Structure 1
Amino acid sequence: MLLALILALGGTMLLQKAFTPKLGLDLAGGTTVTLSPVTLNNAAPPEEILDRAVNIIRERVNGTGISDAEVAKSGDNIIISIPGVGQSEAIALVATTAELRFRQVLAMEPTQVPQQLATNAPTPSGSGSPNAPASPQPSDSASPAASQSAGVPKPSTSPTGKALSSALTAPSPATSPSEAPSATQNGQQQNGQQQGDQQQGQQDGKKGQDAKASPTASPSGQPSEPPAQDPNTGINTEGIDPTVLAQYNKLDCADPKNRGQGVQDDPNKQYAACETDGSYKYVLDVAKVVGTDIDTASAGVQQGTTEWVVQLDFKSKGAGEWSKLTTAAYNSPEPRNKVAVVLDGVVITAPNIISPIPGGRAEITGGFDQISATNLADQLKYGALPLKFNRSSVDTVSSTLGQDQLQGGLIAGLIGLLLVVVYCMLYYRGLGIVAVLSLVVATILTYTAVVVLGHNAGFRLSLPHIIGLVVSIGITADSFIVYFERIRDEMKEGRRSLRAAVEVAWVRARRTILIADAVMFIAAIVLYFLAVGGVAGFAFAMGLTTLIDIVVVFLFTKPFIALLARMKFFAKGHPLSGLDAERMSESGSTGRTTTPQEA
């Protein structure tokens, strides 16, 4: 089992091509970001609000407590120091407010027509006459009525056809009966518009006759002849706030400012927004589910695919609202059968709802990789910032200690290890070999664990961590000494052979070893949860080496001593074995054998 554990850790290192530990802020440097709060009239923010922001940012950048990141207040500013990352990574990690909303789509349209849709899909000017023959069908299976009802190419061909959960894997059926009313209503609007053109033609004489002929001439591609269309043509404006509709018509998603995260939108009001890539713009209903309704969030790979997603679990209230929202969207026509996921005012994804989703679980997809999915999950899990912040400065900082101090710490560890080895060999002689090999195994496990944790859990070695690992050498040696002395006590009593003494001594020694390690581990846990920054990292290192000590003693030291007890060199008490008569009592040479007993 021990060999399997070592091979698993070593194999992980090889697969990830990670062979050296990641270093902390004091040994490798990093990035420092200074955030200044934005308030009305530049008033000082309340202290409790600022403390809450500090806690949220600390959880984001150092959620596990082992990455050696530091977050502190300096007046009204917040200073964040993140080890081993560049400026862009640091900004992406701390600057977003992480305000998550789930909003039903009320209207949408592409801001630029993709090439495929430009050649195959009907254009708005081609649908001016209800009597005109249908334009060539889109490449998907959408019906002409469905295409006309939206007034734009069918939204299901957009990049928003992404999954929120296992139920969100395909666009709504094109022949859904719920789409028919929208098409009929749109046809009535178009008939009304045509009649208005005819009346205007009767009043204006010959110009009116030209205008009357324009609907049939529009498919010929003459854009200058039709009268200017209402920008809301083809949009079901029922239930949409006119002010928001006007904002939607003016919204320019080609402008990066309109699709950059950081906007704190009001969840109680309708909202006009762009998609992250600027390809679509939306009119969105009030938010029925918000970020505070999320119980937890995690990053993972979607089942059956290699795509990274963010998985959400809602609280009891949020689960009920989520079920109502998806049910309402499912019973609505295009494009209102979509639910948009809005983060900091920008639409990440807006998938079709093909069935109601009870149960309080959802997934967010959006072309994530492991890092971006993990960052978003952390932002959602730890909450939104209560204040809006401006970045006062972003600086790259060098290590405060440097390579010399790192080498000094490693040399101190090697000296300590060497002294323990020398002591064990001089005092325990042959048994000292067991101690040395046990320390070697513990060192291998510790190193591989630190490397794997560094590349998968953000663990970074700083000087306090290295001190914790050096101190753990003594803890590991204590376990060996307890066991060895128990064996010698059993041999001195003269009632047992070496093989029997090894077993009986183990029963007694393991209790002492477990109690000592339990005390050390409890202390590490308490320190880890009550401290932050480097102190929490030190506690983590101490707890890690305590667990490794238990693994080594149980899976290597005891079995190895049991194997040596079968050898004549130790069983007969050779002078170099450490179990000779000179070190034992004279009564220890009787060699009487008794059945091992529980103490």
Structure 2
Amino acid sequence: MPTPATPPPPGAPRRDRTLVVVVSVLACVALLGILACGGAAFLLRDRILDLSAGTELTVEAVRADGTAPGRDDVERTRDLLADRLAAADLDRPSVDVEGSRLVLRVGETGHEDELRSLAGTGDLSFRRVLGSVADRPVAGGAPPTPDTARVPAREQVAAKLGAAYQLAEEITASGSPDPAAVQALAPFATLTPAEVAALPPRMQYAVPTVTCPQLTARPATTAADGPAVACDAADPPVKYLLDVARAGGADVETAEAKVTDTGQWVVAIGFTGPGQQRWTDLTREAVDAGTENQVAVTLDNLVVSAPVVQAVITGDTEISGRFTRSEAKVLAAQIGSEPLPVTLRVVG
């Protein structure tokens, strides 16, 4: 049987049920507050972890012949990359050396494309456009990795191509290829970027089966005193045949990303004294050329801009191309930097 409740003895203190309820409620509120604060702490910690994730790119330094560079070249490359990352206004940039490898880091996610661009050699040139032709569309994804293999002798590549090479010589002499000849030129599509670099520039341009992914990934072997072939980053890309370089990186004194009055991002370039004269002479050549009056600004194997020159330019110039803020900052950092003493190959 249940035990009957026993009344408290006379004189014993009585428990106030109302007080018990209030204390219990306060305890629950305090507990909920602790849990809420703990949840906020977890949320804040998660946000900090997300911000610290950042973007990382590992590259390996190699010489033009594919061999490992010396320590001095690696350290110089590290310093130049650090300057480029800072000039590009990226968040918390750093560059660490691990043997012949360099690790580029920034504090925010989603900047791999910028890091890849800043890791380019940085060989800048200004050339008159001799011709242009649309290439086939490029599939999406990361840009081609530079081919650091040794460029073979032209005779080796000609032997590999056989009859296709002889046909290509006739095409470059007579102009545009006949559509029926394109199939016979298919072996050119099997060439590595290093093998493409061994071909005469006019053949690289005229053969339709030599495509922009091959051209963009070529080793940096183009001589400033000879013609060149390069593509832009459009989709589909345009392949350009370019005249000898009339000016280069040594002629640039300043490069700055800025916004125009119309709200467009551009890169303003200021030249040295001798560089200004070379740039003016180049624009005069372009104007005198008649219909082909474009001037290409090339960086490594890429045409970053190919404006039409309508008058002789005697002062500074601006590179425009519907750039975002980030793209303009990165391009200005590349143009304003010295070329790297090595080639960087993306690892992984």
TM-score (norm 2): 0.62
| Shift, 1:350, TM fit | 1.9
**Pairwise CA distance, 1:291:** 1.8
Aligned residues: 247
Richer in strand (by share): 2
Cα deviation, residue 27, structure 1: 6.3
- Please state how far the C-alpha of 1:294 moved relative to its aligned partner: 0.9
Deviations 1:180-231 (A, max 9, x none): xxxxxxxxxxxxxxxxxxxxxxxxxxxxxxxxxxxxxxxxxxxxxxxxx966
Cα deviation 1:319-338 (Å, max 9, x = unaligned):
11101111111111222x22
CA 31–262 in structure 1, closer or farther in 2 if over 3 Å, else same: farther
| Alignment-derived partner of residue 3 in structure 2 | none
Which of 292, 308, 316 is the equivalent residue of 2:265? Answer: 308
What's the CA shift for 1:251?
4.8
Give the structure 2 partner of residue 292 of structure 1: 250
Bigger Rg, which one: 1
CA change 1:332–1:87 in 2 (3 A) is: closer
Question: Aligned partners of 1:35 and 1:263: how far apart in 2?
Answer: 17
For 1:82-481, what aligned pairs fall within 5 Å after superposition? 82-86=106-110, 88-89=112-113, 91-111=115-135, 233=174, 243-252=200-209, 255-259=212-216, 263=220, 265-277=222-234, 278-303=236-261, 305-335=262-292, 337-359=293-315, 361-393=316-348
Deviation at 1:37, TM superposition (A): 1.1
Aligned-residue offset at 1:373? 0.7
Larger helix share, 1 or 2: 1
Q: Tell me the amino acid that sits aligned with residue 293 of structure 1.
A: D
Counterpart among 80, 94, 108 of residue 104 in structure 2: 80
1:142-193 deviation line (CA, Å, top 9, x unaligned): xxxxxxxxxxxxxxxxxxxxxxxxxxxxxxxxxxxxxxxxxxxxxxxxxxxx
Inter-partner Cα distance in structure 1 for 2:338 and 2:130 = 27
The letter of the residue matching 1:295 is E
- Which structure ranks higher in relative contact order (CA pairs < 8 Å, sequence separation ≥ 6)? 2
Give the AA of the match of 2:248: V
- In the alignment, the residues of structure 1 paired with residue 172 and residue 221 of structure 2 have an alpha-carbon distance, to the nearest angstrom, of 27
Residues 52-61 or 78-87, more deviating? 78-87
- Does structure 1 retain, via aligned residues, the 8 Å contact 2:225–2:244? yes
Rate the CA distance shift 1:91–1:25 in 2: closer, same or farther, 3 A. Answer: farther
Matched-pair identity in %: 28
2:99 counterpart letter in structure 1:
G
Candidates 13, 21, 38, aligned match of 2:62: 38
Partner of 1:69: 93
Which residue identity lines up with residue 275 of structure 1 in the other structure? D
Q: Does the 8 A contact of 1:273 with 1:346 survive in 2?
A: yes
Q: Which runs of 5+ in 2 are unaligned?
A: 1-43, 137-169, 177-198
Letter paired with 1:381: G
Q: Deviations over 1:498-527 (max 9, x none)?
A: xxxxxxxxxxxxxxxxxxxxxxxxxxxxxx
Per the alignment, residue 498 of structure 1 pairs with: none
Partners of 1:63 and 1:285 lie apart in 2 by 31
The amino acid across from 1:369 in the alignment is T
- Alpha-carbon distance, 1:59 to partner: 0.8
Match of 2:166 in 1: none
Between the aligned partners of 2:269 and 2:276, the Cα distance in structure 1 is 10
* 8 Å CA contact retained: 2:175, 2:206: no
1:380 corresponds to which letter in structure 2? Answer: I
Q: Deviations over 1:346-399 (max 9, x none)?
A: 22222222111112x111112211111111111211232221011224xxxxxx
Structure 2 Cα separation of the partners of residues 81 and 102 of structure 1: 31
Cα offsets for 1:292-344 (capped at 9, x unmatched): 211111111234x2221111001112111101111111111222x22111122
CA positional deviation for 1:90: 5.1
Q: Report if aligned partners of 1:25, 1:84 keep a CA contact under 8 Å in 2.
A: no
Q: Report 1:494-513 matches (<5 A).
A: none
CA contact (8 A) 1:253 1:279 kept: no
For the pair 1:50 / 2:96, whether they are aligned, the reply is no
Q: Is the 8 A contact 1:253 1:259 kept in 2?
A: no
The answer (yes or no) to whether the contact 1:261–1:344 under 8 Å persists in 2 is: no
**RMSD, aligned α-carbons:** 3.2
TM-score between the two structures when normalised by the length of structure 1: 0.37
Secondary structure class of the residue paired with 2:133: strand
